[in-house]
Structure formats: structure tokens, C-alpha cells
Amino acid sequence: MNVLYSTDGNGYWIRREWSDQCDESIFMASRCQGVKGHKGEHWCYQPNGNYAWDDNENDPKHGGCSGSTPPDHKHYIAPIDKQDDLWLASFKDTEVTDPEIIARLENNDPPEGEDASIDRPVTDPQELAKLETFRINFDPDIPKETRDAFVKSLKDELNPKMKRTNITIEFDETVSEEKAKAFLKEFQKEIEKVGGTLEIEE
């Protein structure tokens, strides 16, 4: 069980539970990055960027073979295309409303015991100053699919109930002011589509 409780420090709690990771290992590589019980081949990425795969005996498609596909191969699968299959991307968020459970969480006593962890806001002024701004060096010309993946990863950070995370987007000096403003407006709309809020301050 992989459970994390997060709070805004004011009584609002979210419980996140991830799906279990696949137990299988890829030959000459690492552990499969899919969800336990997934269909299709077992897979992971090697340090050199290769897509490593191994046939799944519960859903065979490669005659029991395994392999490693380099990025320049026509059958290569890019990491962004496997993002939704990653076990860490498979989770369920639930708002905690039971007063007894909230009381336990406030006392660092999650119902799941050692199978759960607790995430609290930083309160130390010096540490808070370091973390309050989330800086992004952003290029308006990056592919849309890359930006979409980034927006998806920010969804929880920009949850208005959690009231956290300031974002500073820094553009290269070669990017014109007009182009930067146009990008920010588009970026704001994309954030709103996934339930986040983004106020732009120039």
C-alpha cells in the first residue's frame, strides 16, 4: 500500500493512494514501471534513454522475447507516451472529512500505520522563503505535448484549496515581450482546464 496524506495546515486533508507497482523485472534493465497486473509488455527506461521491454506471460505478444529499443529507432516509445501507464501516475485522491481520522492525522497517527506518510506545509521562515516560488525556465516554442504533460503535473500544486505555490516563469532574453505575454495567456487557460488557478503578475 502506498498512501500519502497532505494538508494545508488548516484542517484540510487529502488522502492519495497509488496503485501497486508491477513486480516483474526487465532483462538486463530494471523493474517494470507499469501498474501491477497491467496488460501488454513489461517496460522501463534505461539510463541511456533506451526503452527496455520484456514479454508479459499473462498477455504475450512477443513470443517470450525481450529487448531494448534506442531513441532513434522507428518503434521507439518516448517517455511522454508512457506517462499514463506509469504506476506513479495511477492514484486516487480523496478528501478526508471524518473528524476522527483528521484528529489522528493531526497527531501523526495515520490509520494505515507505517504504510502511510504525512506531508505538511513548511513553516520555518527561512525554508519557506526558499520554497515559496516555483521557478520555471520555459520556452514558448516547446512541443504542445510536452507542455500538456507539465500542466498535468502541476494540477495538484495549483489546487486553490491547498493555497500554495507561486510560479515564476523566466523566459530567455531572446523571447520578445509580446510572445511571452501571448504564451502566459495560453498557459493560464491550460491550467484552468485541469482545475487549477493561475494569476499572472507582471
Q: Which three cell numbers stand for residue 70?
A: 534506442
Give the model's pLDDT for residue 1. 65
Which residue is associated with the grid cell 500538456? 148
CA distances from 3 to 11, 60, 75, 88 (A): 18, 32, 36, 12
E strand or H helix that includes residue 95: strand 91-96
Q: Which three cell numbers stand for residue 33?
A: 514501471
Give the model's pLDDT for residue 177. 76
Other Cβ atoms closer than 10 A to 112: 13
Give the model's pLDDT for residue 134. 47
Per-residue pLDDT of the chain (202 residues; tens, 9 = 90+): 689 999 988 889 999 999 999 999 888 778 999 999 999 999 999 888 899 999 999 988 888 888 999 999 999 999 889 989 999 889 999 999 999 999 999 999 999 998 899 998 877 777 665 555 444 555 555 566 665 665 565 555 555 554 445 556 666 666 677 777 777 777 777 767 766 666 665 5
- Buried/exposed 135-164: b ≥16 CB within 10 Å, e otherwise: eeebebeeeeeebeeebeebebebbeebeb
Give the model's pLDDT for residue 56. 93
Give the model's pLDDT for residue 182. 77
Give the model's pLDDT for residue 163. 47
